[in-house]
Amino acid sequence: MSGDLGAEVVVRAAAAALERYRNIELVLVGDEPELSGLVRDIIGDDDRVRIHHASQVVEMSEPPADALRKKKDSSMRVAIDLVKAGETDACVSAGNTGALMATARFVLKMLPGIDRPAIITEMPAIGGSLHMLDLGASAEATPDRLFQYAVMGSIVAADIVGIEAPRIALLNIGAEDMKGHDTVREAAAMLSKSTLNYVGFIEGSELFRGKADVVVTDGFTGNVALKTIEGTVGICVHYLKREFKRNWFSKLQALLARNVLKNLAVQMDSRKYNGATLVGLNGIVIKSHGSADAYAFEHAIETAVVEVRNQLPQQIGRLLERESA
């Protein structure tokens, strides 16, 4: 109920997901009168979708602590409660990130051996894609926590992309062993002794060159990197459009390059990578971008389907148990 574009986006995404996956059931949590009308108009009669009423909505600007204390019947809280009760296998939300994280952690608790949850998402990269975490769940990280992120990132990348042994790198200010602060160097020493496919440090300029499948960092650095990437893409698109519109000759060049630009737009479409996983929880919670349209939200549902099929939390628990043995 609390995405930027309203409940209609979620219902249209649900319709697309039901068409794509014949063996799933969806529970739409929120205001029943509003959702009933949308389901009737968009989905029609389908016994694989049902509505679970929730009387409250967590606003985007609402402090997480207030949402946790005062909004116990919010669509967000009720959806996570359904996961806790075993009535659903995963929760997908486009709502307030801080509130979603706080509520999920309070209700579902952490997996044994995990200190804090992390936010991980997939991004396009040369030769495939890249998974990066943490993107803002916890500003600071200890060496142990970075190691836990690496374990969780390895499982997610293996499940989503199908890589048998994902290459894991630590984001650092240089690739040399002596670079970086004590935390990142201690984490590197731990990863080097593990069974994970650790490939060393990676600099920000090398993120998308296909040198790693998973990049691990603390939430502060990860969030800054993510926002910088988004801003860089935005300014490149701005200048590209401006140059193609400069005069009649540049407009002609744009016309000639139309197919190339169209293919580029498809490859770089961030909507295909919508759906960040809150890993480390004893349950599956997917965070969609707040401004996601139906196409993007459908991909967040797809991420949930894949993680449920692969039993992501259980896999993380088993790998952590092996690494700590």
Higher pLDDT, 89 or 248: 89
pTM confidence score: 0.88
User: Cβ of 109: how many Cβ atoms within 10 Å?
Assistant: 13
* pLDDT exceeds cutoff 90 at 281: yes
User: Worst-scoring range by mean pLDDT, 28-37, 112-121, 255-264, 310-319?
Assistant: 255-264
What pLDDT was estimated at residue 234?
83
What pLDDT was estimated at residue 7?
93
User: What is the chain's mean pLDDT, rounded?
Assistant: 91
For residue 270, what pLDDT band results from cuts at 50, 70 and 90?
confident
Bridge-based pairing state of the strands 214-216 and 168-171? parallel
Instruction: Answer whether 1-114+280-310 and 118-273 agree in fold.
Output: yes
| Residues 6+ away with beta carbon under 8 Å from 69 | none
User: Cβ of 79: how many Cβ atoms within 10 Å?
Assistant: 27
User: Worst-scoring range by mean pLDDT, 62-76, 212-226, 228-242?
Assistant: 228-242
Mean pLDDT on 15-37 = 95
Distance (Å, rounded) from C-alpha 74 to C-alpha 68? 9
Superfamily holding 1-114+280-310: Isopropylmalate Dehydrogenase (3.40.718.10)
Superfamily holding 118-273: Isopropylmalate Dehydrogenase (3.40.718.10)
* pLDDT exceeds cutoff 90 at 230: no
| Residue 97, token pair as written in the block | 């990130």
Distance (Å, rounded) from C-alpha 238 to C-alpha 233? 9
For residue 325, what pLDDT band results from cuts at 50, 70 and 90?
low
Domain boundaries of the chain, sorted by first residue: 1-114+280-310, 118-273
pLDDT tens per residue across span 62-121: 999 999 999 999 999 999 999 999 999 999 999 999 999 999 999 999 999 898 899 999
pLDDT tens per residue across span 161-189: 888 899 999 999 988 888 889 999 999 99
| Residues 6+ away with beta carbon under 8 Å from 201 | 169, 170, 171, 172, 174, 175, 176, 177, 179, 180, 184, 188
What pLDDT was estimated at residue 161?
80
* pLDDT exceeds cutoff 90 at 263: no
* pLDDT exceeds cutoff 80 at 299: yes
What pLDDT was estimated at residue 120?
93
Are 291 and 5 in contact by the 8 Å Cβ rule? The answer is yes
For residue 21, what pLDDT band results from cuts at 50, 70 and 90?
very high
